[in-house]
Amino acid sequence: MKFHAKLAVPPHKKVRLKDFDPAETFGYEKGHEKGDRDEALMEKTTCRLDDLQYSLYAEGKRSLLIMLQGMDTSGKDGTIRHVMSGASPQSCKVTSFKVPSPEERAHDFLWRIHKATPEKGNIMIFNRSLYEDVLVVRVHNLEPKSVWSERYDEINRFEKYLTENGTTILKFYLHISKDEQKKRLQERIANPDKHWKLSEADFKERQYWDDYVDAYEEALTKCSTKYAPWFVIPANHKWFRNLAVSKIIVETLEKMDPQYPTPQLDIERMKKLLK
């Protein structure tokens, strides 16, 4: 199965998240027999991603930007930790976007985003992203509708500009159910080792679940483009979430086909100097 084609949101398609099963695994399994093969596939995919990342870095001409969005507890941190487990920190970095600082608020909403985009040869992962300005801002009325409603077009223009300048963009919405979120919050409460992850904000934001669904549906509908697609990743099963994201990244990098640069040195001469 080509995960890219299966999970991408087609441009201009109206998205209704109720039409996507957050527990879907498309026949993949975890556990015995066939599940063991699927776990081996995840390991193979991770190794392949590491090889492609190294080629991209060596080529030094293009970059990859990965954006992760989702409800609280959807697994943004866990996805980064597992999918990029073999990646080199030399050319793979993570940036988180939280409440804007006073300096960031003094600029346009894309200012802090553009500063964090990846250098050529690098992979950058956004844990939350520019989409916070049509999600949190919208849900909590931090700006009037006349302001945030214009941002969908601004985001599309910005992403097109990045792709025209050598950055490939992948955007993942980690799709969990409200019941699954409740289960994960209960697990954090029950496990002392996870108390550090608890945030009062997570429980308060849960009250706005339906408002966030509406906000995400509009963002997915208006901002999934051919050059910067959105993917709805079934994320109730963490292992499948990781497999799907890693496969899409690998499929994308293979399509980019990064090449090692031609050596600038005379290799045969270098061999003779070692004698």
Q: What is the pLDDT of residues 20-50, one digit of tens each?
A: 999 999 999 886 566 677 788 888 999 999 9
Q: What is the pLDDT of residues 136-181, one digit of tens each?
A: 999 999 999 999 999 999 999 999 999 999 999 999 999 999 999 9
pLDDT attached to residue 33: 60
Question: What tokens were used for 118?
Answer: 């990846």
Radius of gyration of the chain (CA): 20
pTM higher than 0.75? yes
Which strand ranges, in their side-by-side order, compose the sheet holding 230-234? 92-96, 123-127, 63-70, 167-175, 230-234
Measured between alpha carbons, how far is 219 from 149 in angstroms, rounded to an integer?
10
Helices (H), the chain: 3-7, 34-59, 76-83, 102-105, 111-116, 136-139, 145-148, 151-164, 178-190, 200-206, 209-223, 238-256, 267-273
Question: Where do the domains of the chain lie?
Answer: 3-256
Q: What is the pLDDT of residues 215-228, one digit of tens each?
A: 999 999 999 999 99
Measured between alpha carbons, how far is 104 from 113 in angstroms, rounded to an integer?
10
Measured between alpha carbons, how far is 79 from 128 in angstroms, rounded to an integer?
13
What is 3-256's CATH number, 3.40.50.1370, 3.40.50.1220, 3.40.50.300, 3.30.200.20?
3.40.50.300
